[in-house]
Amino acid sequence: MARHIVNIVVIWVVLTVLGALVLTLDYLPVIGAEYSEEFDGIFRLLAFMGLPVLTFVFAWVGYSFFAFRQRTGESEGPAWWGRNWVPIAWLAVTASLAITVMIYPGLTGLAKLQADPRGYGWGETGADLVVKVTGFRWSWAFEYPEQGITVNAVQGRELVLPVDATVRFEVNSTDVVHSFWIPAFRMKIDAIPGRTTYMVVKPVATGSYAEDQAFRAQCAELCGLDHSKMVLPVRVVEREEFEAWVQQMKAQ
């Protein structure tokens, strides 16, 4: 029996190392905002925490498949009922793992995301720039109230943001439920009729849809016919370029 335990542990360790090598690959999208780094860190942490759990089950089931097989079904195994310390130890280990993940990175990560417990969205309460987002079937409109401009699928045709500025999106819908999502920023919030939701992001790198398709404002909640086409490009630019773009939009 001890021999089998040792074998399973060896396979477990080997699988975990192999899995960890895979997890060091670059499988995440481009980093567009401050929160993207936070998300990537938590994602990688959870992946490394989940990996040994997964490989434990794989090693155990896989080893049993090869080591404990019989051909005829005639012989019977030892009558173990598990009425000993094993289930208690199992319960203790799994419960501590679950509670650990719940607290860190779960609740601690959540606390960073939500500055206002009674609000309907993500991030800090203040911002350098406010953009009012309106979802409708099947496109977006972005209003910059301080700059006095509006862009949509006809006018401007892209969402332009200055780099290193905190942007507060105030999100609404005029018809059905949509969801405002920018994959490069790793954040989404639903656009619902009758309630203003928000998300606050801080772009940390310039980029555009032309360079990387993760820079796009995508509807992520099924909204009918042209849901899959409800996309507008996003472009993050330097401050001066943003000001120039604002002037250009005003001139139109």
Partner 1 sequence: MYALISIASGVASGLIGFYVGVGLTALVRVAFGHSPWDAQISITVGYIFGLVGWLMGIGMWGAWGREWFGLPTYARKAPGWQRYFVFNSDHKVIGIQYLVTFVVVFLLAGLLAMVMRAELAQAGNQFLSNDQYNAVMGLHGILMIAVAVAAVIGGIGNYAVPLMIGAQDMAFPRLNALTYWLNPPVALLLLLTPALGGLETGWTAYPPLSVLTENAQLLFNLAIITFGLTSILGGLNFIATIIFLRAPGMTWGRLPIFVWSMFVASWLALLFTQGFAAALLMVLLDRAFGMSFFNAEAGGDPLLYQHVFWFYSHPAVYIMVVPGFGLALELITHFSRKPLFAYKYAVGGLLGILGLSGLVWAHHMFTSGMPNYLHGPFLALTEAISIPTGLIFLSALGTLFMGRLWLKTPMLFAMAVIFNFALGGVTGIFLADVPTDIHLHDTYFVVAHFHYTIVGGEIFALFGAIYYYFPKMTGRMYNETLGKLHFWWMFLGFNVTFFLMHWPGILGMNRRIADYPSSLEGVNLIISIAAFALGASFLVFVYNMVVSWVRGPVAEANPWRARTLEWQTSSPPPIENFPAPPVVRGHPYEYGVPGAVHAIVPTPMPGGAPAGGAK
Q: Give the C-alpha separation, 168 to 161, whole Å.
A: 11
Residue 181 interacts with partner 1 (CB under 8 A)?
A: yes
Q: Does 109 bind partner 1 (CB under 8 A)?
A: yes
Minimum distance from residue 86 beta carbon to partner 1 (Å): 7
Where does this chain touch partner 1 (CB under 8 A) — which range of 89-97, 140-148, 159-167, 244-252? 89-97
Q: How far is the CB of 168 from partner 1 (least distance, A)?
A: 15
Buried b (16+ CB within 10 A) or exposed e, 11-30: bbeebbeebeeeeeeeeebe
Nearer to partner 1, 132 or 227 (CB): 227
> Which of these segments, 107-115, 126-134, 142-150, 238-246, binds partner 1 (CB under 8 A)?
107-115
Measured at the CA of 17, the angle between CA 28 and CA 49, to 5 degrees, comes to 60
The stretch near partner 1 (CB under 8 A) out of 73-81, 126-134, 149-157, 160-168 is 73-81
Identify which of residues 82 and 126 has a Cβ nearer to partner 1 in the complex.
Answer: 82
The angle subtended at Cα 41 by Cα 38 and Cα 43, nearest 5°, is 105
Q: Decide if residue 22 touches partner 1 (CB under 8 A).
A: no
For residue 126, state whether it binds partner 1 (rule: CB under 8 A).
no
Rule CB under 8 A: say whether 64 interacts with partner 1.
Answer: yes
CB atoms within 10 A of CB 198: 21
C-alpha 246: how far from its chain's center?
31
Pairing mode of beta strands 178-182, 216-219 = antiparallel
Q: In angstroms, rounded to a whole number, what is the distance separating the alpha carbons of residues 59 and 14?
A: 9
Size of site (CB under 8 A) for partner 1: 94
Produce one character per residue of 65-90: b if its CB has 16 or more CB atoms within 10 Å, e if not.
eeeeeeeeeeeeeeeeeeeeeeeeee
Considering only residues 187 through 216, tell me which ones interact with partner 1, judged by CB under 8 A: 187-190, 192-195, 197, 212-214, 216
Least distance from C-beta 226 to partner 1, angstroms? Answer: 5
If one asks whether residue 238 binds partner 1 (CB under 8 A), the answer comes out as no
